[in-house]
Structure 1
């Protein structure tokens, strides 16, 4: 009976973890897709100061470059800090960078804020993968990662729909960035309260790790 109770608790925590990661990673896109939504307004306001379509394209490209660099470093960082910490740090960093962009008054600030935003956003996927490995049996990795990979599609679509609607309601691009940062901050708070780093942290036994994995040791799972 005790074993059944423990199994039920684990399943509930697995559902809770998957839901928190799905919503959390989707919410990241509020602070990523906002640039595309706000682009026409940015060009209209700052076009005379050098922010035309070409420069906006360069801004987006710099963001992709920093995102790619972050994927390398933050994956390693996640092994040291743990999945929950790096997942939440990415959210907090994205919130701060988005606010900085929203307060910006020129192209240089936009480049710095957007590069920082994309760099810290790369923490999100690293944290998601780490937490998934902690909470799910290696036999379920394919299913759970397939499900969670939909979060970036859902997040991008939902972010553009919601942010576009806010523009239609008369919100300016600065308000748009602040709204995106505010919602992501709330989701980060919910995930901070609702996610657990490992099953052991809530008194549960970890699902079996792959016997062929170099990282199967519990000492490396945090």
Structure 2
């Protein structure tokens, strides 16, 4: 079964190279397509993750959950989301982002349907914990896709543009949740409507995303843009495959700058998720 799982998500094979005129015509189109698909796709992950907090007060009133119980639902999602991003990041490095990201969004939508269909606290805890895990399938394929379709000198600009997807998703999620709950009969609608949007998004991602340029008959981005890293210039190789151990030990555990950024980001998230998880309830209580 595990073998089938890895086979299904395996990177798309390279195909024969297209004629030069086709390369020049198609490359810009694919790049725009990949950027747009990952942008919209990641924003949709927010819609099925950040829709809980805006209606948490309604859930508590309807099902008799106190603030500790509601807080536990937020905590379990945060924990499993962190674990999910760590695990899924490793898997995503060796997966086709087209399938990986689309499946993650579909599974998150399924978790939303299951959450809305239940009135059991234990079921809600389990389902929302699972949602945190599959939410980890959102960011890693985006990073992989941008790395394959945009060269080193472009990535700072491209990531600056792409990263606004988090703001778009963060704005849309509470709007979709509150409007759905208001117009369609209560808190459950906030999850059903979000799930419907995400399922449509999963179909869109599967249709629009592609793996590497070579999988559609194009040269690597380094060759197309003539933008090689210093190591590639010295050794004459591109896109060297690293083992999971090399990535984790050499490029994560031993990267002191990454540890500094992670430590700083920890304090940002105290404030960020404090507002995201409790801001809506606080404003409703004191209004």
Give TM-score, length-normalised by structure 1: 0.90
Q: Do residues 113 (structure 1) and 127 (structure 2) align?
A: yes
Contact 1:99 1:178 (8 Å CA) reproduced: yes
What is the CA-CA distance between 1:21 and the residue it aligns to? 0.6
1:83–1:129 Cα contact (<8 Å) kept: no
Question: What is the CA–CA distance in structure 1 between the aligned matches of 2:145 and 2:229, rounded to whole Å?
Answer: 15
Distance 1:144 1:171, change over 3 A: farther
Q: What RMSD over aligned residues (CA atoms) do the two structures have, in Å?
A: 2.0
1:74/1:123 contact within 8 Å kept: yes
For residue 37 of structure 1, the aligned residue among 46, 54, 69 is 54
Contact 1:94 1:120 in 2 (8 A): yes
Cα drift, residue 91 of structure 1:
0.7
For 2:128 and 2:106, the matched residues in 1 are separated by 14
Query: Matches of residues 124-139 of structure 1 in structure 2 within 5 Å?
Result: 124-139=138-153
Gaps of 5+ in 2: 1-18, 223-227, 243-287
Corresponding residue of 1:8: 25
Q: C-alpha displacement at 1:171, in angstroms? A: 2.9
2:280 paired residue number: none
Of the three residues 199, 208, 216, the one matched with 1:202 is 216
Larger Rg computed on CA atoms: 2
Instruction: Tell me what 1:103 maps to.
Output: 117
Residue 86 of structure 1 contacts residue 126 of structure 1 at CA under 8 Å; is this kept in 2?
no
Report how far residue 3 of structure 1 moved.
4.0
Compared CA separation, residues 115 and 216, structure 1 to 2 (3 A):
farther
Cα deviation 1:54-109 (Å, max 9, x = unaligned):
21111101111111111111111012223223212211220111111111121101
Q: Equivalent of 2:166, from 131, 143, 152?
A: 152
State the partner residue of 2:283: none
Measured in 2, the distance between the counterparts of 1:170 and 1:60 equals 24
Q: Is residue 13 of structure 2 the alignment partner of residue 25 of structure 1?
A: no
The 2-side partners of 1:139 and 1:8 are apart by 22
5+ residue gaps, structure 1 = none
Give CA deviations for 1:149-199 in whole Å, capped at 9, x if unaligned.
Answer: 111111110121222222232432222211111110001101101111111
Counterpart of 2:207 (choices 182, 188, 193) is 193
> Partner of 1:70 in structure 2?
84
